């Protein structure tokens, strides 16, 4: 499990009390730190002869609470069926162009559909696109622009795509789970519910931990 910060790591670890410390890590904030930290952990595990079979990006994030459906209000859970980097590309006279339109890389990773379905059913989560951003959205205009480009987006966070890139490098499936702590849009710290979101994250992992233990690659 790869989280950004220790508070998220601890929330997940509480639900997985029997998990070794190496299995739940805080790898840093942002896609670059997440990719580097996750790749390092995966390489170390492989070198020790104890490779992982699945990589999970977990934490809290912003949810798109209204506008085009679907929506993810504060307090809800989201399981990504697509992990998409939203701001990797170039500005053009015609608007934003993702890096794939420039002839490079990838912008989306897709977790195993059966795993997404089983995890979401176990914890009552919504499924949809989770966006990875390097700059957290702070205006209604940017939130609307993201939903226009990504109409299935439920949430945004800063690490999922980095974790997914590291998993892909090692040939491993990836999953992203987010508990919504705040609405995507104008920054209003008074409206954030970080403690509640961390509790929801811990509760969710407690509910779907058996799915993670029993799941094997069959997609």
pLDDT for 93-107, tens place per residue? 988 999 998 999 899
CA diameter of the chain: 53
Class of domain 2-214: alpha beta
Quick check: 164 and 123 in contact, CB under 8 A? no
Q: Residue 70 has what pLDDT?
A: 66
CB burial readout 9-37, b (16+ within 10 A) else e: bebbbbbbeebeeeebbbbbebbebbbbb
Which helix (H) or strand (E) covers residue 131, if one does? strand 126-132
What global pTM score does this model have?
0.92
Q: How far apart are CA 101 and CA 41, in angstroms?
A: 31
**Tokens at 174, concatenated:** 């990836």
Handedness of CA 55, 59, 65, 67 (dihedral sign): negative
Which helix (H) or strand (E) covers residue 181, if one does? strand 174-183
Q: CA nearest 149: which of 58, 64, 46, 44? A: 64
Distances (CA, A) of 146 to 32, 50, 132, 139, 169: 21, 39, 11, 11, 27
Q: Residue 191 has what pLDDT?
A: 85
What residue ranges do the domains of the chain occupy? 2-214
Residue 72 has pLDDT above 80, yes or no: yes
pLDDT for 136-172, tens place per residue? 999 999 999 999 999 999 999 999 999 999 999 999 9
pLDDT for 163-197, tens place per residue? 999 999 999 999 999 999 999 999 888 889 999 99
What count of Cα atoms within 13 Å lies in the side-chain half-sphere of residue 154?
A: 27
């Amino acid at each position: 499990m790869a989280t950004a910060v220790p508070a998220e790591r601890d929330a997940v670890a509480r639900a997985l009390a029997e998990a070794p410390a190496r299995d739940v890590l805080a790898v840093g904030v942002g896609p670059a730190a997440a990719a580097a930290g996750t790749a390092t952990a995966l390489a170390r595990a492989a070198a020790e002869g104890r490779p992982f079979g699945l990589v999970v990006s977990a934490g809290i994030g912003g949810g798109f609470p209204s506008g085009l459906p679907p929506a993810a209000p504060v307090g809800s859970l989201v399981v990504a069926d697509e992990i998409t980097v939203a701001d990797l590309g170039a500005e053009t006279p015609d608007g934003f162009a993702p890096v794939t339109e420039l002839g490079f890389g990838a912008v989306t990773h897709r977790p195993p559909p059966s795993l997404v379905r089983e995890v979401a059913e176990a914890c009552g989560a919504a499924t949809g696109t989770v966006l990875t951003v390097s700059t957290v959205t702070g205006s209604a205009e940017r939130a609307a622009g993201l939903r226009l480009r990504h109409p299935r987006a439920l949430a945004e966070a800063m690490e999922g795509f980095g974790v997914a890139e590291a998993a892909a490098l090692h040939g491993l499936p990836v999953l992203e789970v987010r508990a919504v702590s705040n609405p995507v849009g104008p920054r209003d710290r008074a409206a954030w519910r970080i403690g509640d979101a961390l509790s929801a994250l811990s509760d969710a992992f407690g509910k779907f931990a058996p799915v993670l233990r029993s799941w094997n690659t069959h997609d």
